[in-house]
Amino acid sequence: MKSTRFAPWMLILTVSLAMLSGQTSAKDTKEFSTVVPMAKPDPKWQGRQKSLNERIKKGNVDLLLIGDSITQGWEGAGKDVWKKYYDKRNAANLGIGGDRTQHVLWRLDHGNLEGISPKLAVLMIGTNNAGGDQPEAIAAGVQAIVEKLRSKLPTTKVLVLAIFPRGEKPTDKLRLINSKANESIAKLADDKDIFFLDIGAKFLKDDGTLTREIMPDLLHLSPKGYTIWAEATEPKVKELMGEK
Protein backbone atom coordinates (compact mmCIF):
# COMPACT_ATOMS: atom_id res chain seq x y z
CA MET A 1 0.00 0.00 0.00
CA LYS A 2 2.90 2.38 0.70
CA SER A 3 4.14 2.18 -2.89
CA THR A 4 0.67 3.09 -4.16
CA ARG A 5 0.47 6.02 -1.81
CA PHE A 6 3.70 7.57 -3.06
CA ALA A 7 3.20 6.78 -6.77
CA PRO A 8 1.86 10.30 -7.67
CA TRP A 9 4.93 11.89 -6.16
CA MET A 10 7.16 9.54 -8.07
CA LEU A 11 5.37 10.52 -11.29
CA ILE A 12 5.89 14.21 -10.59
CA LEU A 13 9.56 13.57 -9.88
CA THR A 14 9.95 11.61 -13.10
CA VAL A 15 8.40 14.38 -15.20
CA SER A 16 10.51 17.01 -13.46
CA LEU A 17 13.71 15.09 -14.11
CA ALA A 18 12.73 14.61 -17.75
CA MET A 19 12.27 18.35 -18.19
CA LEU A 20 15.61 19.08 -16.54
CA SER A 21 17.37 16.53 -18.72
CA GLY A 22 15.94 18.06 -21.90
CA GLN A 23 13.52 15.23 -22.71
CA THR A 24 10.72 17.78 -22.51
CA SER A 25 11.79 21.17 -23.72
CA ALA A 26 9.87 24.23 -22.59
CA LYS A 27 11.50 26.30 -25.27
CA ASP A 28 11.70 24.86 -28.75
CA THR A 29 13.65 26.69 -31.44
CA LYS A 30 10.39 27.07 -33.35
CA GLU A 31 9.47 29.74 -30.82
CA PHE A 32 12.23 31.98 -32.17
CA SER A 33 10.99 34.58 -34.66
CA THR A 34 14.37 34.24 -36.34
CA VAL A 35 13.33 30.90 -37.88
CA VAL A 36 9.90 31.99 -39.15
CA PRO A 37 10.07 33.12 -42.81
CA MET A 38 8.86 36.69 -43.22
CA ALA A 39 8.65 39.11 -46.14
CA LYS A 40 8.85 42.89 -45.90
CA PRO A 41 6.01 45.03 -47.30
CA ASP A 42 8.47 47.82 -48.11
CA PRO A 43 8.33 48.53 -51.89
CA LYS A 44 12.11 48.98 -52.07
CA TRP A 45 12.64 45.56 -50.50
CA GLN A 46 10.05 44.00 -52.78
CA GLY A 47 11.72 45.58 -55.80
CA ARG A 48 15.11 44.25 -54.79
CA GLN A 49 13.66 40.79 -54.26
CA LYS A 50 12.12 40.90 -57.74
CA SER A 51 15.43 41.92 -59.31
CA LEU A 52 17.23 39.07 -57.55
CA ASN A 53 14.72 36.58 -58.90
CA GLU A 54 15.15 37.99 -62.38
CA ARG A 55 18.91 37.39 -62.10
CA ILE A 56 18.36 33.83 -60.92
CA LYS A 57 15.96 33.11 -63.79
CA LYS A 58 18.77 33.85 -66.24
CA GLY A 59 20.62 30.84 -64.83
CA ASN A 60 24.38 30.34 -65.19
CA VAL A 61 24.95 30.63 -61.44
CA ASP A 62 27.94 28.81 -59.96
CA LEU A 63 28.39 30.91 -56.84
CA LEU A 64 25.88 32.55 -54.49
CA LEU A 65 26.62 35.19 -51.87
CA ILE A 66 23.69 35.45 -49.48
CA GLY A 67 23.13 38.06 -46.80
CA ASP A 68 22.07 41.57 -45.87
CA SER A 69 23.34 45.06 -46.76
CA ILE A 70 26.95 44.00 -46.18
CA THR A 71 26.54 41.45 -48.96
CA GLN A 72 24.51 43.83 -51.12
CA GLY A 73 27.44 46.22 -50.76
CA TRP A 74 29.41 44.14 -53.23
CA GLU A 75 27.45 46.17 -55.77
CA GLY A 76 28.62 49.43 -54.19
CA ALA A 77 31.88 49.82 -52.30
CA GLY A 78 32.87 46.29 -53.26
CA LYS A 79 32.06 46.41 -56.98
CA ASP A 80 35.67 46.53 -58.21
CA VAL A 81 36.69 43.69 -55.92
CA TRP A 82 33.66 41.69 -57.09
CA LYS A 83 34.77 42.08 -60.72
CA LYS A 84 38.21 40.76 -59.84
CA TYR A 85 37.10 37.73 -57.83
CA TYR A 86 33.53 36.81 -58.69
CA ASP A 87 32.45 37.89 -62.18
CA LYS A 88 34.47 35.07 -63.71
CA ARG A 89 32.75 32.61 -61.41
CA ASN A 90 29.19 33.35 -62.57
CA ALA A 91 28.35 34.72 -59.14
CA ALA A 92 24.99 36.08 -58.01
CA ASN A 93 24.56 38.57 -55.17
CA LEU A 94 21.58 37.69 -52.95
CA GLY A 95 22.03 40.48 -50.43
CA ILE A 96 19.26 42.83 -49.31
CA GLY A 97 19.84 45.70 -46.93
CA GLY A 98 18.27 45.35 -43.49
CA ASP A 99 17.55 41.64 -43.83
CA ARG A 100 17.44 39.41 -40.80
CA THR A 101 17.50 35.63 -40.89
CA GLN A 102 13.72 35.39 -41.23
CA HIS A 103 13.75 37.55 -44.35
CA VAL A 104 16.41 35.42 -46.02
CA LEU A 105 14.38 32.31 -45.20
CA TRP A 106 11.36 33.79 -46.97
CA ARG A 107 13.39 34.79 -50.01
CA LEU A 108 14.85 31.31 -50.40
CA ASP A 109 11.30 29.96 -50.63
CA HIS A 110 10.21 32.60 -53.13
CA GLY A 111 12.47 32.48 -56.12
CA ASN A 112 16.04 33.10 -54.95
CA LEU A 113 17.01 29.46 -55.52
CA GLU A 114 14.62 28.45 -58.27
CA GLY A 115 16.07 26.45 -61.14
CA ILE A 116 19.75 26.76 -60.19
CA SER A 117 22.39 24.38 -58.88
CA PRO A 118 25.46 26.40 -57.89
CA LYS A 119 28.70 24.84 -56.77
CA LEU A 120 28.91 27.00 -53.64
CA ALA A 121 26.74 29.27 -51.49
CA VAL A 122 28.48 31.71 -49.14
CA LEU A 123 26.26 32.88 -46.28
CA MET A 124 26.86 35.77 -43.88
CA ILE A 125 23.76 36.90 -41.97
CA GLY A 126 22.59 37.79 -38.49
CA THR A 127 23.95 41.18 -37.52
CA ASN A 128 20.56 42.85 -38.04
CA ASN A 129 19.06 40.38 -35.57
CA ALA A 130 21.50 41.44 -32.87
CA GLY A 131 19.45 44.46 -31.86
CA GLY A 132 16.47 42.39 -30.75
CA ASP A 133 17.43 38.72 -30.57
CA GLN A 134 19.61 36.70 -28.24
CA PRO A 135 22.63 34.78 -29.59
CA GLU A 136 20.88 31.40 -29.45
CA ALA A 137 17.98 32.78 -31.52
CA ILE A 138 20.35 34.24 -34.11
CA ALA A 139 22.22 30.94 -34.38
CA ALA A 140 18.90 29.11 -34.78
CA GLY A 141 17.99 31.40 -37.66
CA VAL A 142 21.30 30.78 -39.40
CA GLN A 143 20.84 27.05 -38.87
CA ALA A 144 17.39 27.21 -40.46
CA ILE A 145 18.86 28.93 -43.52
CA VAL A 146 21.61 26.34 -43.85
CA GLU A 147 19.08 23.53 -43.59
CA LYS A 148 16.94 25.15 -46.28
CA LEU A 149 19.94 25.57 -48.57
CA ARG A 150 20.87 21.92 -48.13
CA SER A 151 17.29 20.85 -48.80
CA LYS A 152 16.76 22.97 -51.90
CA LEU A 153 20.32 22.73 -53.26
CA PRO A 154 21.51 19.25 -52.24
CA THR A 155 24.61 19.30 -54.44
CA THR A 156 25.72 22.78 -53.36
CA LYS A 157 28.44 23.27 -50.76
CA VAL A 158 27.62 25.85 -48.08
CA LEU A 159 30.27 28.12 -46.58
CA VAL A 160 28.94 29.88 -43.49
CA LEU A 161 30.93 32.96 -42.50
CA ALA A 162 30.97 34.10 -38.91
CA ILE A 163 28.97 37.30 -38.44
CA PHE A 164 31.42 40.16 -38.94
CA PRO A 165 32.55 42.27 -35.97
CA ARG A 166 30.89 45.64 -35.53
CA GLY A 167 31.29 48.63 -33.22
CA GLU A 168 34.61 50.27 -32.45
CA LYS A 169 35.57 48.35 -29.32
CA PRO A 170 35.62 44.64 -28.41
CA THR A 171 33.16 45.49 -25.63
CA ASP A 172 30.50 46.81 -28.05
CA LYS A 173 27.19 45.25 -26.99
CA LEU A 174 26.11 44.14 -30.45
CA ARG A 175 29.55 42.80 -31.28
CA LEU A 176 29.44 40.65 -28.16
CA ILE A 177 26.03 39.29 -29.16
CA ASN A 178 27.34 38.41 -32.61
CA SER A 179 30.44 36.77 -31.14
CA LYS A 180 28.34 34.61 -28.87
CA ALA A 181 26.09 33.62 -31.76
CA ASN A 182 29.17 32.69 -33.79
CA GLU A 183 30.14 30.13 -31.16
CA SER A 184 26.96 28.20 -31.95
CA ILE A 185 27.03 28.88 -35.68
CA ALA A 186 30.48 27.31 -35.90
CA LYS A 187 28.99 24.01 -34.76
CA LEU A 188 26.86 23.78 -37.92
CA ALA A 189 29.89 22.72 -39.94
CA ASP A 190 30.28 19.06 -40.83
CA ASP A 191 33.28 19.75 -43.10
CA LYS A 192 31.62 17.67 -45.78
CA ASP A 193 28.81 19.78 -47.18
CA ILE A 194 28.72 22.61 -44.64
CA PHE A 195 31.80 24.63 -43.73
CA PHE A 196 32.46 27.48 -41.29
CA LEU A 197 35.02 30.27 -41.59
CA ASP A 198 35.63 33.15 -39.19
CA ILE A 199 37.53 36.00 -40.84
CA GLY A 200 36.49 38.62 -38.30
CA ALA A 201 39.98 39.17 -36.93
CA LYS A 202 41.16 40.24 -40.38
CA PHE A 203 39.10 43.43 -40.06
CA LEU A 204 40.47 44.37 -36.63
CA LYS A 205 43.60 45.93 -35.19
CA ASP A 206 45.67 43.86 -32.77
CA ASP A 207 43.79 45.31 -29.80
CA GLY A 208 40.43 44.33 -31.28
CA THR A 209 39.55 47.84 -32.40
CA LEU A 210 37.56 48.30 -35.59
CA THR A 211 38.55 51.35 -37.63
CA ARG A 212 36.49 53.49 -39.97
CA GLU A 213 39.06 52.83 -42.66
CA ILE A 214 37.66 49.27 -42.82
CA MET A 215 34.05 49.99 -41.88
CA PRO A 216 33.20 53.70 -42.25
CA ASP A 217 30.11 53.43 -40.03
CA LEU A 218 31.59 50.60 -37.95
CA LEU A 219 29.26 48.13 -39.66
CA HIS A 220 29.46 48.36 -43.47
CA LEU A 221 32.63 47.70 -45.40
CA SER A 222 34.81 50.11 -47.32
CA PRO A 223 36.51 49.04 -50.58
CA LYS A 224 39.48 47.99 -48.44
CA GLY A 225 37.13 45.95 -46.27
CA TYR A 226 35.77 44.10 -49.29
CA THR A 227 39.32 43.38 -50.42
CA ILE A 228 40.00 41.84 -47.01
CA TRP A 229 36.82 39.74 -47.28
CA ALA A 230 37.70 38.44 -50.74
CA GLU A 231 41.33 37.71 -49.95
CA ALA A 232 40.53 36.00 -46.65
CA THR A 233 37.92 33.68 -48.14
CA GLU A 234 39.57 33.05 -51.51
CA PRO A 235 41.46 29.85 -50.58
CA LYS A 236 38.32 28.22 -49.19
CA VAL A 237 36.10 29.45 -52.02
CA LYS A 238 38.56 28.10 -54.54
CA GLU A 239 38.71 24.76 -52.77
CA LEU A 240 34.95 24.32 -52.40
CA MET A 241 34.30 25.28 -56.02
CA GLY A 242 36.68 22.60 -57.12
CA GLU A 243 39.11 24.97 -58.79
CA LYS A 244 42.76 24.10 -59.25
In a domain, 115, yes or no: yes
Whether 103 is catalytic is no
Whether 220 is catalytic is yes
pLDDT in tens, 41-84: 999 999 999 999 999 999 999 999 999 999 999 999 999 999 99
pLDDT at 31 over 90: no
In a domain, 12, yes or no: no
In a domain, 19, yes or no: no
Domain that holds residue 69: 29-240
For the chain, give the number of residues.
244
Domain count, the chain: 1
pTM: predicted TM-score of the whole model, two decimal places: 0.88
Q: What is the DSSP string of 65-128?
A: EEESHHHHGGGTTTHHHHHHHTGGGTEEEEE-TT--HHHHHHHHHTTTTTT---SEEEEE--GG
Give the rounded distance of the alpha carbon of 142 from its chain centre. 5
* CATH number, domain with residue 198: 3.40.50.1110
Q: Which of 28, 87, 191, 217 is catalytic?
A: 217
| Of 229, 223, 135, 226, nearest in space to 182 by CA | 135
- Name the percent of the chain lying above pLDDT 90: 87
pLDDT at residue 21, rounded to an integer = 35
In a domain, 17, yes or no: no
In a domain, 143, yes or no: yes
In a domain, 64, yes or no: yes
Of the pLDDT bands very low, low, confident and very high (cuts 50, 70, 90), residue 221 is very high
In a domain, 215, yes or no: yes
Whether 69 is catalytic is yes
pLDDT at residue 197, rounded to an integer = 98
Q: Which of 62, 103, 220, 222 is catalytic?
A: 220
In a domain, 13, yes or no: no
Of the pLDDT bands very low, low, confident and very high (cuts 50, 70, 90), residue 10 is very low
